[in-house]
Structures are given as structure tokens and as C-alpha cells.
Amino acid sequence: MRQGKSKIRGEVQGTFLKGCVYVEEKFYLILAKNSAQMLLINKLLRENGIETDLVPSPPESGTVCAIAIKIQGVNLEKAKNILFENQIEVRGIYEDKKMKLQGLIDKKLGASVSKEFLDILKKIEDGDELLEKEIVYLLSTKDIKEIESIYAAADRIKRETVGNVLEIRGAIEFSNYCCKKCKYCGINSQNKIERYRMNEEEIMEVVGYLNKIGLRTVILQSGEDPHWGTERLIQLIKRIKIETGMRITLSVGEKSFEEYESLKLAGADNYLLKIETTNRKLFKTIHPDGDFDSRLKCSRWLKELGYINGSGNIIGIPGQTIEDIARDILYFKEMGINMIGIGPFIPAKGTVFENMPPGDIDLTIRTMAVTRIVCKKVYIPSTTALASLSKDAQIRALKAGANTIMLINTPAKYRTNYMIYNDKNMVDIDSAIYAAKKAGLELPKYLKL
Ligand code: SAH
């Protein structure tokens, strides 16, 4: 469902001419009390012929990143009746308003930047959606004043949507076995590296530590490893839930709908499956055994199953253009992605891209800032890949729209073998706290240190 102007037939009074008038169509967001209710409401509405879309919840709803059900204004009364008839109470129904940001443009700025840039900034102030060519402009301008105002706008949108608090999550890379051949990735099946696989006890030991320091979310990431299949993962998820109650993010690649469903039912909350690039041709080149449509289908399934849906891309992958990146950003918005991981390409030893140059740090940070401007209330990690190229860059990203840091909690004896790219940095709790301080972000209240 595309937001925007809808065209209705109308008559021009006093003449015989029939014409078209454009009215701004209203959309509403229904916020359920929990994710099970959200899925139930979504199902009921669809069964009753109401078109719905699942999108990140509006800023005024409080909780960061819950999923809202978006409906057209014309269906509001019908939807309310369905809720009433089924005795479903909701947390709230909000009009899907544009986010206005008055005060981005002042006289001084007006005199020193281009007219084209000012027009784009005006659209951001008014909460209007940006076009691809405008996003390309923001990603490519070399003007220092313009770049500063892009970062300032992103920072302001971050504060007004997710707040000025750093979200910290702990990642465990529990297996580097992989059956895929992704050309850029250092743990791809073709690469001759030492392989490891953690067992449940080893994983639980790390989960216990993360829980002890107060973190709320553990990220379980691996290659596509058949020996850590869905059944085994279900046992692990259940155990983490029972013993710690932590939220669980899975990042274990492509699976069938039924597998995603059973992992969700077992207790998984979030899923990170990056689209990597929305350029189909480029996708095929870098994923010889992958298929763009399958990956897209997986991401849609995750959304329909009520996962907090993570995606993202790689900046500077050989063959990518600025237009590709602009289209990636529009895709994140259109898909209603909740968590967007944007990292620079880093060559990995032993891969065919081993001698390619790394992605540009500034372009990566700029992409994060523009993604914040376009997608608003989403999680944007200041990625490990960025920190691996430069510690300072990770801090800069946190000042330019990023709000999350993922700690790497893979045990030391395995960590060096999870080399998806060279010289992968170690992001620990101390460096996350340091980065938060340097970037002027508050630490989360849940941290127990
Ligand atoms: N098997 C899982 C997890 C992949 S690793 C999956 O398919 O989703 C997590 C992320 O690391 C990938 O999504 C990719 O964006 C990133 N990555 C892998 N190799 C990289 C490289 N050489 N440079 C930058 N990012 C890379």
C-alpha cells in the first residue's frame, strides 16, 4: 500500500466539464497490545477485505520499534467495528501523520547552500517523502555546509523518534560453517578457513553474561549451517527464554516459511536478513548460488510472521552505484523495515574480492544519515564493519542518525575465525560505553554495570 495522493473522480461545479481532483488520502496506524494480537488483528482485517501493511510504529506510540498495522482512512470505521465485534482492545489508533521538522533552514544556511539542496531540506521539514534523485543528491553532495545539515537533520530525527539513548545488543557468532558461496564473505563455503561450531552450553554461558550485565537482546548469528538446524535452534531459543527472558534476534540466513514460523513460535523476536543490494543484477553477481526473489520473499515472510524485521546493505560492494544505494534506502522504507544494518564492504582474505578496495567510510555514514531521514523510527546500528575500518567512524555514525551498537561476544578462541571480512574489530561493552560518551548519547537504563 503506497502512501500518497489518491485520485478520485470529481465534477467541476457550474460547468459540464468532468475532471479529476486530487485529495490527500489519510492513513491510520493500529497499535496492538502485543505481537500475537497484532497478527490476529492483521488476519481479521484481511479476511474482511481490508488492505493492511505492517510498518514501524509511529513515534508518539512510545515503545521503540513495535509494529503497527497500517490501513486506509476509508476503512477506519469498518476496522473499528471488527475490533469491537471481536472484543479486541488496542493500545491506540493514530493518524499516520507526516513528521514535521520546523527550523532546519535558517537564513544563514539559505545563503550558503544550493537552491536544489534547500528544496530538499524544505521537503524534509514538511515531512514529505523524498524522490530517488533527491536521495542521490543527499548521498553525493560534496558541500561541507550541506553535509553538516544532513547530519544535523538525521540527528534531530533520531532524537525525536527513538530518543538520544544508545541501544546495546550482544552478538554471538555461534558457527562459521556455511553452505553458501557469497563472493564477498570470508566464511563462504569455498573459503579454506578453520571452521568452528559452538554447542548449546557454550552459547548459554555467553547469554548468561549478557543477561548479567543487563542487556535485553541477544543476537544469534551464523553461516547457513545445517548442523545448527531449526530443531536445534528451537531448543536453544526456548532455553534462553526460560533461563533469561531475553529478546532474541536471529541472523542465520534463508529458511522456509514453516521454519521461520516455528522459530517465531518458539520465542524468536527479531530477524536480521540483509538484502545486501536491491540491484538484481549485482545481487546475482555477488551471490552465485543466491536468488534475489527468494531473499525478498524471505524478508516478506519474516514481516508477515510478525518478526521485528532487520535488513540492510553493503556500501561499496564492487559494481555498486550511488543510485543503487538510493534505491536500497527507498526499499527499506517501502518494506517497513525496522532495523537497518548499513556497513562498508571490507575485503576478506581468500575470496575473489580479496584485493578490492574497501567501501568509503564517509559514504557509509552518509547512507546511515539519509536512511534515518527517510525511514524515521527505526534502529540503525553503528556497524561492526564501520568500527573495523575506524573507531572514530563508529562515533561519527552515532552523531549522524545511528542509535545502536552490537557487541561482539563470541568467545575469544572462536572470534578470530568468524572472519566475514579482514581485521574484524572487537566491539565490547567498554568500547560501546566510550563511543556513547564521545557521541553525547545516554546509556540505556537497563545496563547493570
Ligand atoms: N548467514 C547470515 C549472516 C551473514 S553475516 C545471512 O545470510 O544473513 C552478516 C552480514 O555480514 C551479512 O549480511 C553481510 O552484509 C555482512 N558481510 C559479510 N561479508 C562482508 C564483507 N566482506 N564486507 C562487509 N560486510 C560483509
- Rounded to 5 degrees, φ, ψ at 393 are -65, -35
Banded model confidence at residue 1, pLDDT cuts 50, 70, 90: low
Cα 353 to ligand 1 centroid, rounded to whole Å: 14
Mean pLDDT, rounded, for 295-307: 96
pTM above the 0.85 mark? yes
pLDDT, one tens digit per residue, over 213-268 is: 999 999 999 999 999 999 999 999 999 999 999 999 999 999 999 999 999 999 99
**Alpha-carbon distances, residue 351 vs 71, 179, 253, 346, 419 (angstroms):** 46, 15, 20, 11, 11
pLDDT of residue 10: 34
Q: From CA 219, how far away is CA 195, in angstroms rounded?
A: 20
CB distance 317 to ligand 1 below 6 Å? no
Mutate to test the pocket of ligand 1, among 184, 219, 224, 356 (most ligand atoms within 8 A of CB): 184
Cα 388 to ligand 1 centroid, rounded to whole Å: 14
Check pLDDT > 90 for residue 4. no
Cα 221 to ligand 1 centroid, rounded to whole Å: 10
C-alpha cell belonging to residue 364 = 557509509
Q: Which run of H or of E encompasses 29? A: strand 27-31
Cα of 400 vs its chain's centroid, Å: 16
pLDDT of residue 25: 83
Cα 357 to ligand 1 centroid, rounded to whole Å: 17
pLDDT of residue 11: 33
- Residue pair 376/154 in contact by the 8 Å Cβ criterion: no
pLDDT of residue 63: 58
pLDDT, one tens digit per residue, over 10-26 is: 333 333 334 455 566 89
Which ligand 1 atom is the nearest neighbour of the CA of 353? 22
- Share in percent of the chain as helix, strand, coil (round to 5): 45, 20, 40
C-alpha cell belonging to residue 124 = 524534509
pLDDT, one tens digit per residue, over 175-195 is: 999 999 999 999 999 999 999
CB distance 345 to ligand 1 below 6 Å? yes
**Alpha-carbon distances, residue 89 vs 32, 50, 82, 443 (angstroms):** 8, 18, 11, 34
Over pLDDT 70: what percentage of the chain? 94
pLDDT of residue 35: 86
Check pLDDT > 60 for residue 46. yes
pLDDT, one tens digit per residue, over 128-173 is: 999 999 999 999 999 999 999 999 999 999 999 999 999 999 999 9
pLDDT of residue 229: 97
pLDDT of residue 6: 40
Banded model confidence at residue 62, pLDDT cuts 50, 70, 90: low
| Mean pLDDT, the chain, whole residue set | 93
pLDDT of residue 58: 80
Mean pLDDT, rounded, for 107-131: 94
Check pLDDT > 90 for residue 383. yes
Which residue type, as a one-letter code, is found at position 151? Y
